[in-house]
Structures are given as structure tokens and as C-alpha cells.
Amino acid sequence: MNIGISLLQAVPAGRVFGLDQQTLISIGIQLLNAVILAAALSFILYKPLRAFLQKRADRIKAQLGRAENDQNRAGELKAQYEKKLEDIELERTAIIESAHHVAAEQSRQIIEKAKYGATAAMERAAADIKLERERAGEAIRLEMIEIATAMAEKFVAHSMDAETQNRLFAETVAELEDAQWLG
């Protein structure tokens, strides 16, 4: 402030700015001081500032490199996962198709067994029916024999006497002994 006041006092009255020799020397000294100060500061601060900026640039490059590597790895992992998903989808489709084939085969086998079981049951039923027919036929035959015998007894009892009856009985027994039975 004192310099500003002394400059104002050095200026003659009526002039705002005096350009005399003293002012020019003073400006020259100030410029020289500024150049010396700038050179000294640049010499003192330039290398550390440049080293700091270089380290910062290297750190940023390293971070960019790591980020690029991470991005590449992420891309590779994404590709691997997509491949695994495709493989899983293919495996799922194969498993479903296999299950369909197995189910179809089991269904066919069950139907075959059911047909075989039905055929066997029908054959058993036919055999049972045949056996029952034979039994029924035998029972009817025996019943008819009993009825015929009863009727013959009644007829013979009414129409024959004891002597004729004994003679016919002996003849029938002899015939039965000679006859071959169908068995």
C-alpha cells in the first residue's frame, strides 16, 4: 500500500499516470523479479509436479488396463455362462425326450401286459366255462340216468313179474361186463 501511495504522490498534479524514468526502472525490476521467481519456482516445482502428474497418468492407465482386463474377463465369463446355459438347455431337452421315450415304452409295456393278462384271463375263463359245461353235461347225464333208471324201475315194476325181472337183470349185468366204457 505504501508503494501505491508513494506512486500517487510522485505523479504530478493533473496527471493520472506518470511515465518517467523511475517508473520504468521500477517496472523493469518488477518484471525481472517476476521472471526470476517464475524460473525459480519452475526449477523447484516443475520436476515434482511433472513426476506427480506422470504418476497420476500411470495410475490412471493402470486402472484403465485393469478395467479393460476385468471387462474382458467378464465377457469371457459371460460367454462361458451362456455356453453353460445352452448346454443345460440341450441337456434338459434331451432329458425330457428321454423321459417321453421311457414313458412311451413303459406305457406300451403296460398295455402289452394288460392285453396279455386280458387274453390269459379270457383263456382261463373259456377253460373254466368249458370245464363247467363238461361238469354240467356230466351232471345232466347223471341226472338223466337217474331219471331213466327211476322210470325204468317203475315201468318194470308195473309190467314185470319177479322171475322176468331177475332174468333181465342178469342179462344187463352180463352186457355191462362185456361193454367197454368210454372214459
* More confident call, 147 vs 67: 67
Secondary structure letter of residue 58 according to DSSP: H
Residue 49 is predicted with a pLDDT of: 84
Residue 53 lies in a domain: yes
- Confidence (pTM): 0.37
Residue 57 structural domain: 30-126
C-alpha cell at position 89? 438347455
**Can you give the pLDDT at residue 153?**
75
- Predicted confidence at residue 175, as pLDDT, reads 78
- Which of these, 5, 3, 49, lies nearest to 30 by C-alpha position? 3
* 50 found inside a domain: yes
Residue 7: count of CB within 10 angstroms of its CB: 14
Q: Residue 3 pLDDT > 70, yes or no?
A: no
Looking at the structure of the chain, the number of domains it has is: 1
Q: What is the pLDDT of residue 173?
A: 81
Q: What is the rounded CA–CA span in Å between residue 133 and residue 141?
A: 12
pLDDT of residue 93 exceeding 70, the answer is: yes
Q: What is the mean pLDDT of residues 5-30?
A: 72
In a domain, 151, yes or no: no
Does residue 104 form part of some domain? Answer: yes
Mean pLDDT across 34-47: 88
User: Does residue 132 fall inside a structural domain?
Assistant: no
Quick check: is 145 in a domain?
no
Q: What are the pLDDT digits (tens) for 47-67?
A: 888 888 999 999 999 999 999
Question: Which phi and psi angles does 18 have, rounded to 5°?
Answer: -105, 130
SS (H, E, C) 109-164: HHHHHHHHHHHHHHHHHHHHHHHHHHHHHHHHHHHHHHHHHHHHHHHHHHHCCHHH
